[in-house]
Amino acid sequence: MPVPEFGDIDTRLKYLRWLGAMSNRLQRRKTDWTERKEFLQTVWYESRRAGLDTGLVLGLIQVESAFRKFAVSPVGARGYMQVMPFWTRVIGNGDPSALFHMQTNLRFGCVILRHYIDRERGDLFMALGRYNGSRGRPQYPNAVFGAAKNWEWKEHGPAEVSPVPRMPAERVPGGPS
């Protein structure tokens, strides 16, 4: 599990305030403090490593697995981020059981989402559709954007480092793209 390192105390305190706020929001779904802290710490690390908004990643996890480590979809997607087993052959060691390892699942999911965002030239709506296999249909991306609102966090006061990126407006079938 990655342990965050900080160059200064203000950045560390900002992270700890985020961790506390997210821990309170997640407590109902993950009651054990140590498990919750390790999960949030890893989501924070892996989302930043992939250049993703942490709130968006938490929203995706909420929609995909409802924060269940051992979730398996009807088509075989596994873990928190519902990664398809074929990805273990593409970016891993070929062992699909690794998708039930927290950091592996979160790293793969974040890398895959970053790949799709890059492929869609920054269009989160289309990238989320690719992630879910529903490209061009609004239900899944809009569900993730809605869930991500539960995980938005903004530092209060003058120590703000960077604002949370805004989500694109929700799309509706037949609406402008």
> Tens of pLDDT along 111-169?
999 999 999 999 999 999 999 999 989 999 999 999 999 999 987 654 444 444 444 44
Mention every residue, 6+ apart, whose C-beta is less than 8 A from residue 129: 135, 136, 137, 140, 141
Please say if the pLDDT value at position 46 is more than 80: yes
Domain boundaries of the chain, sorted by first residue: 9-151
Domain 9-151 has CATH 1.10.530.10: yes
Reported pTM: 0.86
Q: Bigger pLDDT: 162 or 15?
A: 15
Band of residue 44 on the pLDDT scale cut at 50, 70, 90: very high
Q: C-alpha 59: how far from its chain's center?
A: 6
Amino acid 156: pLDDT: 67
